[in-house]
Structure 1
């Protein structure tokens, strides 16, 4: 009994000591205080505000095309005797160069026949003209004779009135005058008929001269020549075939007149026009991407499209491409897709920044002296291939933020890198 009470007392004493030790350790343990959070500083890139005059480039896209293009067709129907070795796809032909020779036999025969008919008509005309000259001479002689006979009649009548002549002599003189008048009348009528035949025959001569000219042209047209200096394409002719005016034997693309058709937005075209009217003659740069290479050709705006489609929202222009003096050495061809660079207007005293630096609300952030961001409104007045031109009241030299990050906002602390 006594031993049981001693064990119970010992257990309670150990428990009291343990509780007292816990309480002491709790009360004497150091207090844990949380550390205040540190402010994050964002690493950013910025550029000093530099104001200058800028002239950006407008970039448009278009296709190269020949200023002139023609379907080469024969003007007569005949068998093909010869095709030039230069009439091949991709070849360069010179103006006036013989490309195709057709059989001229039938047309030469027709020409000789027309020339014979013309000679016959001219001979007939000469005959009528000779007859006209003969009748004209007779008429002139008859008129002279009539004047003499009329004068003799008047003389005889005067003598008869004075009793120095007989009535018979007067009658005889009057009869001779009447015969002379009839002769003059007949020759006048004959001369008029001859002149009418001459006019008719002259018309026949004109008609047959036209026939000779047409036949001569047909003979010349049996030789097909290049109408201008051109690249050749779509050749479809061979020796021995029969060619007709309805057949296209090749297509010619003018080599000395390559041009690019491209479109500019209305606002860009309006800036180019300015106060001087259409921007004709303005220089452009034409870039043709060929694999890894970019070939650049100079050019000038040559003309503006005759009509404007209001639904397209732009204006079509044509730039004449200067491929150099020797078109044969120029690699560019019709159909090439190219970029056209045109100088925009000059913007005075503007700030140029990457387009990503400007927010959708047309604001930028500047870095204050304490390293904190301030939001500033700007006006975008121009663009230049991924960069924007701004008008703003930002002081020159101020650091303007050129990067964006999720926590971007006024008062955010940043550190400019680089």
Structure 2
């Protein structure tokens, strides 16, 4: 098969969550273990770092990978979903997996795929683990797909577990309280393996994670109890921050430049800082210079896109992959601070989420351009327009994000600002990304 035929086979043969939602969700580790067993358990051949969370796990994974790479290590990085190209999910030192490897892997594993009937995600996890072994990585950063306890990636025993932010998302799978969701995320905690939690949010979440760590005998650090990352200013497209050790009261890094400028990155950097300190204590060679180089160029080093990314100026256009209430609350507040004229929103959502709370976050004194992602789960633009109208949001409908964005730009004065988002898949459809 050619590469395109191989990708077509994966999408056609296997249930894909991003396309069909709940019908593709296959919790449990048995199938992934069987796939990896047939490959000689490649996930056990190199050290790993496991990253879970509701929001921030992708950015955190990319930042950690960048730091390790700038420290001289050969680094594998597995994340999901992809934005433009399936190969984005599997990278080594920022470079995407080759088309040739994907074709060969699928051809070699067809009999196991037919025998085990795995999900799309289970196959891609096994593919990543196999590729990282073949590529001879020194370490791999592995982002959880959903939850943690029953996520396919959870067959690893990592050097370090990281849990970012926990909020309401995928409740039909993970539970309807923050405590239940925290329990699923805490499922990545392993016996004697250090765990870093980016922030102490509240007792409901903190108590669940603390209990899980105690049962596992896992050293636990709530990063926000130890470090404070403060925004200073924006300069030359970088966010300058200070990092303070709250226990000693000393500033451990001042004027640290970060190319990821979303306000929510302050929380992620806090967790990343604590994580790299744990790695240093375990013997990993990471210097202050390598951290500075990495954080000022994460996008260039690892290929991260779509996180509070500015696409153009006059009018300013920002996109962000925030797709739940917690994420949108922060990005919309930040958008409010950068807009000097009329606010314009190009938004779309998937259809299997309750978006009422998210819609309530958007301002009524703005212009709206409702669209739909090119995804089987897409909420139709006209249906979105009617739902938005219930919240006092008035706008026009478009067949796709690019048509909507083109009209929004055409309607704008130079001082206006445009926000594009609502769904990862809307951002993925932006042609200029």
TM-score, shorter chain, exceeding 0.5: no
The structure with the largest strand share of the pair is 1
Q: TM-score normalised by the shorter chain: which range applies?
A: under 0.3
Which of 1 and 2 has higher RCO (CA within 8 Å, sep 6+)?
1
Larger Rg: 1 or 2?
1
